Amino acid sequence: MGTDDLFKKRREDRRQRRHEYRTPRANSYLIVTEGKRTEPFYFNGIKRKIQETIGGRIDVVDAPLIEVEGEGTSTGRLIETADEKVKKANVLYQNVWIVFDKDDFLDFDQAIKEGQKKGYHVGWSNQSFEYWLYLHFDYSDSALHRDSWNEKLDVLFKRYGIGDGRYRKNYEDIYDLVDTYGSAAAAIRNAKRRMSGFREKECNPSAYDPGTTVYLLVEELLKMIED
């Protein structure tokens, strides 16, 4: 074996040992989102609320670890990115979620299957994350283009004087805004109502319009501060 080969083998051995000795972390979440703004802003808002609520409690044995990564990449590439982050992480995450929209991606159904096959949880929205935001205010089962969900949020933001009166993707406090003027609890109820008709083995997510499973992740996270 040449010197270069020996060096590569030792480096790989060290990398493998680091992987094997990573500590499993209870109450840990890695959330990788397709969007770079709205989705990570939303989940970081929940993260802050959890930290503020339980940060001073002495009865919390395992404080939650929540990492949110907004990638701004294609749906298929998002799974590869999640793979890379899981491999490089210093801990073994208990829960890995990938969050993405249908938009106009043709690989939507396949990406969901691939993510689930890898053991990841998938928070998908058809057509867009804005549908999930809308559910904080009202129920709807209307199949609308993603631009229409933006327009409906525009109406709500103007009606309630939210932000500057228009829905924008760059509100860093988007979770606080929709939970204050609407309600995350209402969004969960509305999503459950809509998704009660979804049969995973019979329905393709791309054909279930509108629909979202983001509520599964949000419900899990908010349970940490319900007690």
Each residue's pLDDT tens digit, 120-172: 999 999 999 999 999 999 999 999 999 999 999 999 999 999 999 999 999 99
Q: Above 70 in pLDDT, residue 26?
A: yes
Whether the Cβ atoms of residue 127 and residue 86 lie closer than 8 Å to each other: no
Query: Domain locations in the chain?
Result: 23-225
Whole-number pLDDT of residue 27: 85
Q: Above 50 in pLDDT, residue 60?
A: no
Cα 100 to Cα 33: distance, rounded to the nearest angstrom: 6
Cα 224 to Cα 180: distance, rounded to the nearest angstrom: 19
Residue 175 confidence class, pLDDT cut points 50, 70, 90: very high
Cα 56 to Cα 89: distance, rounded to the nearest angstrom: 27
- Cβ-Cβ contacts under 8 Å for 14 (sequence gap 6 or more): none
Whole-number pLDDT of residue 106: 77
Tokens representing 139? 């129920």
Return the ∠ at Cα 151 (arms to 160 and 36), rounded to 5°: 95
Whether the Cβ atoms of residue 209 and residue 127 lie closer than 8 Å to each other: yes
Q: Mean pLDDT over all residues of the chain?
A: 87
Percent of the chain with pLDDT over 90: 68
CA trace torsion 10, 11, 15, 17 (10° rounding): 20
Closest C-alpha among 87, 110, 111, 84 to residue 100: 111
pTM of model > 0.75? yes
**Sign of dihedral through CA atoms 88, 89, 92, 96?**
negative
Give the residue-averaged pLDDT of 63-71: 85
Tokens representing 114? 């691939």
Q: Above 80 in pLDDT, residue 19?
A: no
Give the residue-averaged pLDDT of 26-32: 91
